Amino acid sequence: MSAQNIPEGTYRISFMDGVLVGLEPNRPLRVLPEEHSERSEWQVKKHGSDAFVIVLKKNEKLGITWSGDLHFGTPLLLAENPAPFKVQQQERDRFDLVPAKDEQLEVALSPAMIFPPIVAFMPRQISFAWHFQKV
Q: Is the pLDDT of residue 4 over 50?
A: no
Count Cβ atoms within 10 A of the Cβ of residue 125 and give its class: 0-12 exposed, 13-18 middle, 19 or more buried. exposed
Higher per-residue confidence, 2 vs 120: 120
Query: Residue 2: which pLDDT band, with cuts at 50, 70 and 90?
Result: very low
pLDDT one-digit tens code per residue, 52-86: 999 999 999 999 999 998 999 999 999 999 999 99
Q: Is the pLDDT of residue 41 over 90?
A: yes
pLDDT above 70 covers a percentage of the chain that reads 95
User: Residues 29, 64: contact at Cβ < 8 Å?
Assistant: yes
Poorest-pLDDT segment among 1-5, 21-25, 119-123, 128-132 = 1-5
- Report how far residue 55's alpha carbon sits from residue 81's, in angstroms, rounded to the nearest whole number: 9
* pLDDT computed for residue 3 by the predictor: 40
Per the prediction, the chain carries an average pLDDT of: 89
Please count the residues of the chain.
Answer: 135
Written as one letter, the residue type at 27 is: R
* pLDDT computed for residue 5 by the predictor: 66
Poorest-pLDDT segment among 73-77, 101-105, 126-130 = 126-130
Q: Which domains does the chain have, with CATH numbers?
A: 3-134 (2.80.10.50)
